[in-house]
Amino acid sequence: MIDPEFLAILACPVCDDRPALRLEGEWLVCSKCGRKYPILEGIPQLTPEDGTLEPVRAEETHG
All structural domains of the chain, each given as residue ranges with its CATH number in brackets, are: 4-61 (2.20.25)
- Give the global pTM: 0.78
Is pLDDT at 58 greater than 70 in this prediction? no
Question: pLDDT band at residue 55, thresholds of 50, 70 and 90?
Answer: low
pLDDT tens figures, 29-50:
999 999 999 999 999 999 999 9
Question: What is the sign of the dihedral through the CA atoms of 11, 15, 62 and 27?
Answer: negative
pLDDT tens figures, 1-28:
789 999 999 999 999 999 999 999 999 9
Q: How far apart are CA 13 and CA 48, in angstroms?
A: 6
Element (H, E) at 35: strand 35-40
